[in-house]
Amino acid sequence: MKLAFSTLGVPGLPMPEVVRLAAAHGYQGVELRAHPEEPVHLGLSASERAAVRALFERGGVEILTVAGYAKVAAEGEDQPVLDELAALTELARDLGAPNVRVFPGGGGQDPAQADAIAARRLGAAAPYAADLGVRVLLETHDSHRAGADVARVAGTVGHKSVGALWDVLHTWLAGEEPVASHAVLAPHLGYVQVKDVVSAEDTTPVALGAGVLPLRACLDTPAADDWVCWEYEKRWYPHAAELPGLLDAGRAHLLRLGAPKQ
């Protein structure tokens, strides 16, 4: 198991500090939130992108994913979404990241319509992503919360450069058992994104193992054999504990849960 954490847990932190945190606490990778309020975003120049990549390479920390905010199932014209997907895959290529994270964002549309929109856009984006050596991962989130929802879209696209990101909170909130989530996502799965929360009604982030999510069941699946990323949503919950003080215990907890079973 290789471990990463998301910069959503340390909003606005300069990249040298992100690399230092990961290396100091034994995390092999980082999921970089790509947003205008963060140090990494679509507006970075070529030289700025090269500097970020070099910083991570010197520190021996991988950039696992560029976590973008494109909403591939959203209503409206395709071209703005396709342009955003292209820009995200270019950023990932420049940073040496193998993955781009996108959201469904289908809103209240008929599910079949939202599926069709998402599959059309992801299918159009897939060849360019493949040319750049990047995989676009659709997260279990919002309109496509369950693993079965994301698997429908990824299966329709049927391209190796389009896959799934398993956010265990959302599949749990959808009422889907971890074994069922893994079963449908496995053919498309990029990696597992873990977290822990107070309750279904209060999704304030807490230390891994201190909340209600069935993390052991999620990490009992073969999906945990590669990357597992801790997304601690400090950005949305400013009163939550600071992530750096939780990183050592979080790493130890994940390694215990993912250890081979006797």
End-to-end CA distance of the chain: 17
pLDDT per residue as tens digits for the range 179-209? 999 999 999 999 999 999 999 999 999 999 9
**Residues facing residue 65 across a β-bridge:** 31, 99
- The whole-chain average pLDDT of the chain stands at 96
Q: Which is more confidently placed, 174 or 223?
A: 174
Against a cut of 0.95, is the pTM above it?
yes
Domain of 15: which CATH number?
3.20.20.150
Domains in the chain: how many in total? 1
> Confidence band (pLDDT; 50, 70, 90) for 262?
very low
pLDDT per residue as tens digits for the range 107-158? 999 999 999 999 999 999 999 999 999 999 999 999 999 999 999 999 999 9
Average pLDDT over residues 52-62: 98
Please say whether the beta carbons of 228 and 254 come within 8 A: yes
> Is a pLDDT exceeding 60 seen at residue 24?
yes
Give residue 181's domain range: 2-258
pLDDT per residue as tens digits for the range 70-96? 999 999 999 999 999 999 999 999 999
Per-residue CA distances from 10 to 17, 31, 85, 130 (Å)? 10, 11, 25, 31
> Confidence band (pLDDT; 50, 70, 90) for 64?
very high
pLDDT value of residue 176: 98
Q: How far apart are CA 135 and CA 260, in angstroms?
A: 28
Q: Helix crossing, 111-132 with 78-95: angle to 10°?
A: 40
Alpha helices in 96-200 (DSSP H): 111-132, 147-157, 168-173, 178-185
Q: What angle do CA 242, 247, 253 make, to 5 degrees?
A: 125
Q: Is 245 buried (19+), middle (13-18) or exposed (0-12) by CB count in 10 A?
A: exposed
